Structure 1
Amino acid sequence: MMAARAMNSSDANKCPGAMGIVSACESYLPMIKLSRKVLRTNCMDKKIHILYKRSDELKVGADLASHADILVSEILDSELLGEGLIPSLQHAHDNLLVKSPQTVPYRATTYGQLVESNFLWKLHDLFNNESEAMDGVHLVPTGLETIMHAKPQQYSMHCDAIAKEIRLLSEPFKIFEFDFWKRPESRGETGLHIKATMAGKVHAVVSWWVLQLDSEGTVFYSTSPRWISTPANHDKLQTQFPGSEDWCDHWKQCVWFVPGGMSISKDEQIHFQAVHNETSVSYNLKYDNRRTEHYTTPVEMCELVLSPERIAVYGDRKWRYAMLTALQNILQGKVNPLCVVVDDSVFLTILAAHLSSTSHIISVFPGIKEIGARYMHAVAGANNFSMDRLEVLGRRTQCLTMDDTNQRKVDIILGEPFYYGNEGMLPWQNLRFWKERTMLHSVLSDDVLIMPCKGILKACAMSLPDLWRSRCCINNIEGFDHSVVNETFGACGDIPASSEGPCLPYFIWQCGEIEELTEVFKLMEFDFLKPMSPCFGKTKVEFNQTGICHGFALWIDWVMHAESSTILSTGPDHRCYKQGVKLLSKPVAVGINGLRSILECHSIEIEASFNPSNGELVVKHSFS
């Protein structure tokens, strides 16, 4: 629409041949329908030709009347290349554009910086973190240091949220430059010598990109972290970082983990190698004059690739000690117990085998399946147990019968709970553990022990202005009415009072500006000692801060062992877990009782109900 308006502006009319046709392509049918609604609302449906195709399916003479003079695109992710920028540009230059087209954007440049951060270290270096736990469990034994690891890739992250935990070990450096106005190469490589500005250990490379929108170099957009200063002059490398003060959810910085970390001295030169293919970028760091540290690579078929957050959980000494304590209490007095690990927890499988030499263990591993079985075979020797005592099913628990247990009743059910592939979902979707336990009801012994034995739904009212704005209704965008999209998107803000705001899985610590407005409170309990059933909870809490309430953070605390009060929390203080964020349709001004203004609410009543048939949690609230 901006392109059509620009071509039909009074300035354009003064130029012969300035009038033209805008063709837009989109391969997702719901978005096509929504686009046409927006065009009709703005009386532009006659000025723009929308094609229900991918750009690489377009053909001149069929879809386009002639080769296009101008290319306008925004197919960028936080890494820049992940949405197919390179192959899309290649096809456009080969087939759709004139020889010397104009493009918006004109150019993109990626930058990086070497950093030290214990938090980032814990997200990928399981071997060195595990060595400090000293609990006898070896998820990554010596010689198999990378048998369990995070995928070597760039991870998008709001690095400003951990800026106080980051030490910058180099100046920013330019990595790649991609020109939209010419055909890009499928593969590129660059080698740099980076001088360390201080001594430390390089745990990661933080990277970002800068867009030059116009050919003259007057309009820029950057995804740089806030510690990069705002430029006054774009001619030098150090000043090519436009300020990005506004928090946004669509683009973040990227983090590339350096395996094992790399110790460096001040002024030392590091050889930095970057390689890109059509959709991603990878990095490699080497010492200029020293031997490079490296890990032994195991047989690929045994590798278990997990999220960085799961790697951090498995390396956390407090988490491991809590699991150890709870399972020791459960196994106490048990002779030849039959244990079933219903989720994808290789940790609990190894721990149970380690703590009880007489136990027989059935691990379901519904997500990791055969890989989990091969992994257990590879690490069994290092953990001093025999695979004769361990059986991996690799299927869902509803298939488990007395035939699978050799006609024995199950004595112990275990779970973290952790389900491979569920990391991006809402916290209560891990109540799948309760469903799995229920499916096993017919094969459970009368005195079966279950870990965790209970789940507690916790909540806290919060001020989340940045996250709320990112999900707010859109209306006038650059002079165009977009309000017709709000109902489809399920946005917050200017919606009917009866409408509910969305519930999102999100890391609270990455939400930009945040503030807790109430104490943490219990909303509901789930009793895993009994079969799955509907649950309801209701409570009223007072606000202990004055501010604007945008919604609630919700999470589950897992009671691993009631008698020892071993509880594992997944709340906002634990950054390796996503919380559920229930956003309000409209923000509410709140205050402390006795100190509030007449316009402020001082308490809130919240109720929640859990439906086991569909696994949905419904949260309702009222302010007073």
Structure 2
Amino acid sequence: MNFLRRFKTLLLPFPAQVSPTRRPTPFLTRIDSSLGRAMSSESTHRIFQLKFDPLTGESQWVVIEETDDAGGEESFGGSSASFLATTSYLDMLNDSARNRAFREAIDKTVTKPCHVLDIGSGTGLLSMMAARAMSSDGGGGTVTACESYLPMAKLMRKVLHVNGMGRNVNLINKRSDELQMGVDIPSRADVLVSEILDSELLGEGLIPSLQHAHDNLLVENPLTVPYRATTYGQLVESSFIQELHDLGNKEGQVLDGIHLVPNGLSTIIRPKSQQYPLHCDSLSEEIRLLSEPFKIFEFDFWRRPESHGEAKVVVEAIDDGRANGLVSWWVLQLDREGTIFYSTAPKWIDLQLNARASNWCDHWKQCVWFIPGEGILVSKGDEVTLNAVHSETSVSYHFASTETNEIRQCDSSVTGDFHLLLPPERVAIYGDSKWRSAMLRAVQNALKGRVQPLCLVADDSLFLTLVATCLSETSRVMSLFPGLRDMGSQYVQAIAKANGITAGRIEVLKDKRNIDRHVSDQKKVDLLIGEPYFHGNEGMLPWQNLRFWNDRTMLDSVLSKDADILPCKALLKACAMSLPDLWNSRRSLTMIEGFEHSIANSTLGACGELPAAHEGPLLPFFIWQCGEIKKLSEAFTIMEFDFTKPITSCNGKAEVRFVEPGICHGYVLWIDWVMDASNSVVISTGPDERWWKQGVKLLAKPAMVGIDGGNPGGFCSSVVEAEFDSSTGELLVKNEFF
């Protein structure tokens, strides 16, 4: 569901003199906690947290003191709280259908005093439900809750205290597989309540967690909530889904002479996601259903699951078409009797039992599995055999048509020769003829009149590396590939011959700090180019690609006096929008199934309940997937970043005139990259472009807006201000209505 909830805590004694990083933009990674198990009880407990610097691409371990406050209003801008504000905890707690289903199932299952174990407790909602269910039957019983992430555990203690549950729930700041019988818990638990599920179902370690719990923490034949999970699938035809993975066929339709996937190497670039989480409802009008839903796997929580499983399903086509992907989802049966359900199915599925979430939520989506190449051609009545295999943490699919016995593998595992794994959106961008044409035109214009130009590709753009080489027979190209690194070098070597590139024309540099060794005083860089795109930044905010500006500044000494820089500038653009589904998923918490949660609002960055001195977080989303959306203003420019000059802090302000009446929930922000000085080539990453995420600034409270002469009860204009800090790469956005 989100990487934070899978984060493994490392607790170690650590020197007090270690200072926190300068750059507070967060990025968390999974690390092994085994080193912390031998820690002395007298040691100072501290938690390592990995922070990512958006301007350098580097990461640094910093330490959060156990005494640091992870909740409360004063700490929202602090490191641990700001991490939590960018996760999906808030979205999950606002999922009323989920909360209600768990409450009903726990009330039905925990009917007498017993020992309940809650794995991955979060704010403690399920633990409090279990404790309340036992107290309603005369009291007694025990609830043991384990939450491995220290800031979350500290927030949970606050929530328990506010609800008077501090004595009812025993909270342990460990992973469940670190709990020891007789040390952490007095006896095996009679009931397990847990919610460690992601969109694929298995990605958060459901199987290993259940295996360890059944082996070490639970009684034989325990009661569990949920009781069972079942995965389903459906074959679909969709040009959008094909574009996310089939670069080979897409590139065959583009006649620009650049071959990212040459003939014979059609799989050298593959999408890296085995599962691709997607709000399929946003594509419902672009998807053709080629089969009825079919059951794939069933996982029982009440018994120990196997690490490996296989299923064979014969799927009958219900229409003619070409299956490009398999859409999968899961259904939870929360009670043993099978009366309480929750599902992540798309809205076109009629589940009858009201099992689907009633409101839009982002923490669980459907998953799309790509069928390689052009897909499988089927006619109505044809049968396709699906062979599904699951490991401890993932699922892979293989298809075979009963007519042709053609095998199609539907995962992203890399075997045999070298393959470069890229995000699906990156694969789609490289196959976009409009985008390719614009990039070609910009580089071509910059190369005009230059003899033996020296070109430097500062980012991870494979396409621009080939373009700069192929458009000029005399050019010399150096590429940094800061994220791809050796993979970029291997890729260039593999496809060079197919693009007519002789040895030595492309040089992949390992470190930009040593670039002086490759540039002479007589021949400096004539063309510095980037998209910009940095491998590994795909889920981040759009302006974090301003790392290109920082790199351009560092490379200033190797640029010639008349060097062209592509892009030459960037524009911070925005649009006022109605985003009711997204806003509601991030709205402030009050009572959740009878438990007060307002104390968590500041820490989780909720809309409407932040202290006046603090702004809500800017969050990255694919706006087109955010449920109901409506533009209320034209796109407007807030400020400009000039790449012809060294990086500097800057600010901007824009007055917004509303062109549509409605309820404004926030501003969507993005970057337009201006590739040339004449402004003839502009690459937009705005909400109309589906391959890029935008940044979202949600309002504390929705505002009714109108237009001059109409809707007199609403605001007619607003002012949006933004400040960019060149020392941190952070952007601060504020607004005011008139």
User: Shorter-chain TM-score: which interval?
Assistant: over 0.9
2 CA distance for matches of 1:331 and 1:178? 59
Conservation of the 8 A alpha-carbon contact between 1:107 and 1:212:
yes
Q: 2:629 aligns with which of 511, 514, 520?
A: 514
CA deviations over 1:501-550 (Å, ceiling 9, x no partner): 22101110111111101011111111111221222221112111111111
2 CA distance for matches of 1:387 and 1:74? 54
1 CA distance for matches of 2:441 and 2:711? 46
Match of 1:252 in 2: 365
Match of 1:85 in 2: 206
Q: 1:262 aligns with which of 361, 369, 376?
A: 376
2 CA distance for matches of 1:52 and 1:297? 35
More deviation in 105-114 or 45-54?
45-54
Q: 1:334 aligns with which of 428, 433, 450?
A: 450
CA deviations over 1:375-394 (Å, ceiling 9, x no partner): 10100000001131111013
Conservation of the 8 A alpha-carbon contact between 2:399 and 2:407:
no
Match of 1:487 in 2: 602
Once the two structures are superposed, the pairs formed by residues 63-212 of structure 1 within 5 Å of their partners are 63-151=184-272, 153-212=274-333
The alignment partner of 1:259 has SS state of coil
* Amino acid across the alignment from 1:427: P
Residue 218, structure 1, aligned to residue 339, structure 2 = yes
Say if 1:299 and 1:103 are closer, same or farther in 2 by CA, change over 3 A. Answer: closer
Match of 2:735 in 1: 621
* Amino acid across the alignment from 1:504: L
Conservation of the 8 A alpha-carbon contact between 1:144 and 1:298:
no
Match of 2:593 in 1: 478
Match of 2:724 in 1: 610
CA deviations over 1:567-607 (Å, ceiling 9, x no partner): 11101111000011111111111111211233x11101112
Residue 6, structure 1, aligned to residue 6, structure 2 = no
Conservation of the 8 A alpha-carbon contact between 1:29 and 1:52:
yes
Match of 2:667 in 1: 552
Residue 574, structure 1, aligned to residue 689, structure 2 = yes
2 CA distance for matches of 1:436 and 1:299? 35
Q: 2:356 aligns with which of 243, 268, 286?
A: 243
Say if 1:532 and 1:57 are closer, same or farther in 2 by CA, change over 3 A. Answer: same
Match of 1:451 in 2: 566
CA deviations over 1:336-388 (Å, ceiling 9, x no partner): 00000000011101111111110011101111111111110100000001131
Match of 2:56 in 1: none
CA deviations over 1:62-86 (Å, ceiling 9, x no partner): 2222221111011011111111111
CA deviations over 1:426-455 (Å, ceiling 9, x no partner): 111111111111111111111101111111
Q: Which has the higher contact order (CA 8 A, sep 6+)?
A: 2
Q: Identity over the aligned pairs, expressed in percent?
A: 59
* Amino acid across the alignment from 1:45: G
* Amino acid across the alignment from 1:97: L
Q: 1:542 aligns with which of 657, 661, 673?
A: 657
Say if 1:104 and 1:428 are closer, same or farther in 2 by CA, change over 3 A. Answer: same
Say if 1:564 and 1:502 are closer, same or farther in 2 by CA, change over 3 A. Answer: closer
CA deviations over 1:14-52 (Å, ceiling 9, x no partner): xxxx83111111111111111111111111111111112
2 CA distance for matches of 1:498 and 1:27? 30
1 CA distance for matches of 2:515 and 2:530? 16
Say if 1:64 and 1:398 are closer, same or farther in 2 by CA, change over 3 A. Answer: same
CA deviations over 1:133-160 (Å, ceiling 9, x no partner): 1111111111111111102511111000
Q: 2:707 aligns with which of 592, 613, 616?
A: 592
Match of 1:283 in 2: 397
The alignment partner of 1:388 has SS state of coil
The alpha carbon displacement at 1:491 in A equals 1.4
TM-score (normalizing by structure 2):
0.80
Match of 1:531 in 2: 646
Conservation of the 8 A alpha-carbon contact between 2:399 and 2:408:
no
Q: 1:426 aligns with which of 541, 546, 549?
A: 541
Match of 1:235 in 2: none
Across the aligned residues of Structure 1 and Structure 2, the Cα RMSD in angstroms comes to: 1.7
2 CA distance for matches of 1:321 and 1:133? 9
The alignment partner of 2:336 has SS state of coil
Residue 466, structure 1, aligned to residue 593, structure 2 = no
Conservation of the 8 A alpha-carbon contact between 1:426 and 1:504:
yes
Conservation of the 8 A alpha-carbon contact between 2:321 and 2:379:
yes
Extract unaligned runs of 5+ from structure 1. Answer: 233-240
The alpha carbon displacement at 1:216 in A equals 0.9
Once the two structures are superposed, the pairs formed by residues 314-393 of structure 1 within 5 Å of their partners are 314-393=430-509
The alignment partner of 1:374 has SS state of helix
1 CA distance for matches of 2:313 and 2:670? 45
Conservation of the 8 A alpha-carbon contact between 1:367 and 1:394:
no
* Amino acid across the alignment from 2:625: Q
2 CA distance for matches of 1:73 and 1:244? 18
* Amino acid across the alignment from 2:246: D
Deviation beyond 4 Å, 4+ runs, structure 1: 293-301
Conservation of the 8 A alpha-carbon contact between 1:500 and 1:584:
no
2 CA distance for matches of 1:606 and 1:68? 54
Say if 1:271 and 1:51 are closer, same or farther in 2 by CA, change over 3 A. Answer: same
Residue 51, structure 1, aligned to residue 172, structure 2 = yes
2 CA distance for matches of 1:300 and 1:333? 44
2 CA distance for matches of 1:298 and 1:87? 24
2 CA distance for matches of 1:203 and 1:317? 20
TM-score (normalizing by structure 1):
0.95
Say if 1:607 and 1:298 are closer, same or farther in 2 by CA, change over 3 A. Answer: closer
2 CA distance for matches of 1:542 and 1:193? 56
Say if 1:298 and 1:65 are closer, same or farther in 2 by CA, change over 3 A. Answer: closer
Residue 500, structure 1, aligned to residue 615, structure 2 = yes
The alpha carbon displacement at 1:8 in A equals 1.0
* Amino acid across the alignment from 1:353: T
Say if 1:298 and 1:331 are closer, same or farther in 2 by CA, change over 3 A. Answer: farther
The alignment partner of 1:433 has SS state of helix
Say if 1:583 and 1:300 are closer, same or farther in 2 by CA, change over 3 A. Answer: farther
Q: 2:386 aligns with which of 254, 261, 272?
A: 272
Conservation of the 8 A alpha-carbon contact between 2:610 and 2:616:
no
2 CA distance for matches of 1:490 and 1:458? 23
The alignment partner of 1:31 has SS state of helix
Conservation of the 8 A alpha-carbon contact between 2:577 and 2:633:
yes
More deviation in 288-297 or 457-466?
288-297
Q: 1:440 aligns with which of 555, 571, 581?
A: 555
1 CA distance for matches of 2:631 and 2:357? 25
Conservation of the 8 A alpha-carbon contact between 1:415 and 1:433:
yes
1 CA distance for matches of 2:728 and 2:513? 17
Q: 2:146 aligns with which of 25, 38, 48?
A: 25
2 CA distance for matches of 1:476 and 1:125? 47
Conservation of the 8 A alpha-carbon contact between 1:146 and 1:297:
no
Conservation of the 8 A alpha-carbon contact between 2:457 and 2:529:
yes
Conservation of the 8 A alpha-carbon contact between 2:398 and 2:407:
no
The alpha carbon displacement at 1:300 in A equals 5.1
Match of 2:420 in 1: 304
* Amino acid across the alignment from 2:135: N
The alignment partner of 2:324 has SS state of strand
2 CA distance for matches of 1:287 and 1:101? 42
The alpha carbon displacement at 1:498 in A equals 4.6
